[in-house]
Structure 1
Amino acid sequence: MSPEYAVDGNFSVKSDVFSFGVLVLEIVSGRKNRGFYDPEHDLNLLGHAWKLWDEGKAMGLLDASMEDRFSATEAARCIHVGLLCVQQRTEDRPTMSSVVMMLDGEGPLLSEPKQPGFFTERCLSETDSSSRKRKSGVSVEVSITMVEGR
């Protein structure tokens, strides 16, 4: 969901571009934005992609299971276009027709992306972060109480 829609309820064609960018980054990484976890930090997928891009390590975003099944140039282009689509300000995002041309390798040179919208770092409490590290073996107890009227 685009920042302008989530915060102000404003929807535009650029809201769809934002959603498409999230989808591109999810496909390239093989991971979902929702529930994303990386042991190095508490960023969401968009924040993680931006951090890697900013450090010049964008190819670190790629799904490891896809190692020799893609062109590195095309993968880098997809990451670049995905980050252009998820920029905070609507006017900084390309139009969908521009996105199609960029993914095809046509059109203008790709501009440098700016920080994405919803670039967030979770603030986990001590118990949350320790339970996050132990992803397996979590036990949840549930009890059901029948409430009856008199």
Structure 2
Amino acid sequence: MAAIGAVLVAADHIDAPGTTGNTADIADFYGFESPSNPDNTVFIVDLQTDVLPDLAYGSFDENVLTEINIDTDNDLIEDLVIQAIPRGDTMYFFGPVTPDETGKTSGVMVGSPLGQVAISTDAALTTTTETGISLFPRTKTRCFLF
């Protein structure tokens, strides 16, 4: 009976009260150890996928800054920040850097460019930065990987 109840209240990712009907909803976030190098961490951010096709969006919103806050010392305050923001057909990435201010308020950290890559449906299109970070923005699923 509890399993049935859990299914009935399952989220569809596009129902958060503050994000319903807009492009700022994060459907999924994944962070895990790289299978090829345990010293690396993989981050995947999925924005408004086709969970409910009539509510899904087809492209990244230029008014939405996506930020990954990383706590390295377990004090529940971000120590590093990675940001992504689309402009036209390109996704720009910034960080990882120590933020000037912690919490919910952020501006684009233009002084800390990480890289940029064309937004594409081509899974082979990837940019690897000088520091070895790979960037993969995709339009079909509206997600990107670090």
Q: TM-score, normalised by structure 2?
A: 0.26
The structure richer in helix per residue is 1
Higher relative contact order (CA 8 A, sep 6+): 1
Identify, as 1 or 2, the structure richer in strand.
2
Larger Cα-atom Rg: 1
